[in-house]
Each structure stands twice: as structure tokens, then as C-alpha cells.
Amino acid sequence: MLFKKKKELEPPKREIPEGLFVKCTNCGEMLYKAVLEKNFLVCPKCNYHFRANVEVYKALLLDDGGFSETIASQLESDDPLDFPEYKAKLKQAQASTGLREAAIAGVGTIGGLEVVLFLTDFRFLGGSMGSVYGEIFFRACETARDRNLPLISVTSSGGGARMHEGIFSLMQMVKTTMGVEILNERGLPFISVVCDPTMGGVMASFASLGDLNIAEPGALLGFAGPRVIEQTIKQTLPPGFQRSEFLMQKGFLDMVVPRREMKDTLIKLLDYLGVKHGRS
Ligand SMILES: [Zn+2]
């Protein structure tokens, strides 16, 4: 059995490290943590986008800061391959994040428009895609279909397909792609917001299949990482390779949008795409 149910977990904790100040990874500025949090983890000095978790994106995007209902929130991964230490790693990730899985989904409103929102969390095993992650995405697509709603996904999945579930993880590339196809058949919009990092099987399946693919600034996006590619082709890669701005130049993305402007941009795009208030 791939899935098992469990009682409700404790409410999620905030990710920010201990201490009052955080040093900006990019400009070195010492930032007051409360100010950084208020700015949705974007450096006020240099605009560097710190990696954000699902709680930050819920607060950033949803009108009420949360879902009106959740999708498949009772699911959690089993250990189908009896992979060494996988169960312990799952438990550890659950305890440290308060999440059951690397992905969550639900229905909520953005600028008064009802949407299905799918979010992933890098803190949970690198945001990697296992069978439950794939199932939650697929059910999000089914909910969008049943309710006639657009789907927005926000991914931060450095791990790609989760190795601990082997072929079951790889199968999720097909399943999530089929989920997108359900939306295509119904003419329902799917907007993919890709954040740092979105790699491997996640980028190679649903995350690059949006009607619109939008990235946060400076995000690393791709299949294999730059180090692996350099070692394989034995060539030095150009500066900024696989970063949002580089991929935008090459036509791989539709937009690069700063985090603070993401919600307004999504509202405008949903309007362009014909999503109306009270559509369902
Ligand atoms: Zn900075």
C-alpha cells in the first residue's frame, strides 16, 4: 500500500532560523528577521529571494492567508521499497515542518477569484516528488475539473523525483502530466510558478507544462544541475545558466516576476484568461 492515513498533525511551525538577525546570502546585509518575514523573505536591500515555505506562499497569495478547504491532506507516504532510513527521514521531515508531505493543495481565493492552489515545500526532503506528492497534484487537477476552477502550482523541488520511492516516484511524472491534460481538455487555466530550485522530474513534468510558466527571480530551474552537466559535457557553462533570467532570454519561461508582485500578476493573468468571480 502506497498511502496510509494518520490523525491530524501539529500545526506547522515557521521555518526562519533562530536569532533576531539574518545575513543576506547575496549582499551580506544584516537583516532584522521580523522585517524580512514581513517582506515575504525578500531582501529589502538587494531584492534577493530567500527560499520560502508553503506558509509564506499561503500568506503571500491567498486572500485569507489560508485554504477554505484542503485536498487530500490526510495522505502520507508509506515506504513501498523498504528503502534504508526512508521511514525515519519522513518522520524527521514531518516533525520539523509540521507537514505530512512535501506538497499540499487546497481551494482558496486570490483577489476574490476562487482557485485551486498546489504548493510544495523544499524543507520536506528537498520538496521531492513521491507517490503522495503526485497523488495530491492529480487530485488538485480533479478538483479544478469538478469545480471548474483554474489551477496554480508553486513549486520548490530541488530533489525532483524522490529516490526513496524509485519507480513509484518516476510514475508521478506521467500521473501529474495526465492531471494537466485533464485541465487542457476542459480548457481550464493552469499557471505554473517555479521557485528556487525546481529541478529533475518535477521540472520535467507538470511544472513546465503551465499555460503560463512564471519564475521567481534568480531561481535555479532545470533537469540535471549545472555541476552534473559540466562534468558530463566537459565544458564550462555560461554565467547564469539555468537561472530564471537566462531561461527567460532563451524562451523557456513566459515571465520572471518578483515575489512581492506575484499575487497582483496572478490576479491580472487570471482576468486575462477569463476567470470570473463566482465562476464555479
Ligand atoms: Zn540582500
**Domain 52-272: which topology?**
2-enoyl-CoA Hydratase; Chain A, domain 1 (3.90.226)
Single-letter code of the amino acid located at 222: G
Where in the chain are the domains? 15-50, 52-272
User: Helical H runs in the chain?
Assistant: 33-38, 54-61, 86-97, 131-147, 166-186, 200-203, 226-233, 244-249, 259-272
User: Residues 73, 133: contact at Cβ < 8 Å?
Assistant: no
CA of 31 to the centre of ligand 1 (A): 8
DSSP string over 65-98? SS-SEESSTTEEE--TT--TTHHHHHHHHHHHHS
CA of 90 to the centre of ligand 1 (A): 33
CA of 49 to the centre of ligand 1 (A): 8
CA of 66 to the centre of ligand 1 (A): 28
- Per-residue pLDDT tens over the stretch 249-267: 999 999 999 999 999 999 9
Question: In a structure prediction context, what are the per-residue pLDDT tens digits for the chain, which is 280 residues long?
Answer: 455 554 445 444 445 556 899 999 999 999 999 999 999 999 999 999 999 999 999 999 999 999 999 999 999 999 999 999 999 999 999 999 999 999 999 999 999 999 999 999 999 999 999 999 999 999 999 999 999 999 999 999 988 999 999 999 999 999 999 999 999 999 999 999 999 999 999 999 999 999 999 999 999 999 998 889 999 999 999 999 999 999 999 999 999 999 999 999 999 999 999 887 754 4
CA 135/CA 125 separation, integer angstroms: 17
CA of 92 to the centre of ligand 1 (A): 31
- Per-residue pLDDT tens over the stretch 97-142: 999 999 999 999 999 999 999 999 999 999 999 999 999 999 999 9
CA of 246 to the centre of ligand 1 (A): 21
CA of 242 to the centre of ligand 1 (A): 21
CA of 218 to the centre of ligand 1 (A): 13
53 — alpha (psi -120 to 50), left (phi > 0) or beta?
A: beta
CA of 221 to the centre of ligand 1 (A): 21
Cα–Cα–Cα angle for 55, 278, 73, rounded to 5 degrees: 35
pLDDT above 70: percentage of residues in the chain: 92
19 — alpha (psi -120 to 50), left (phi > 0) or beta?
A: left
CA of 100 to the centre of ligand 1 (A): 32
CA of 26 to the centre of ligand 1 (A): 5
CA 50/CA 209 separation, integer angstroms: 25
Cα–Cα–Cα angle for 154, 66, 72, rounded to 5 degrees: 70
Of 157, 112, 115, the C-alpha closest to 134 is 157
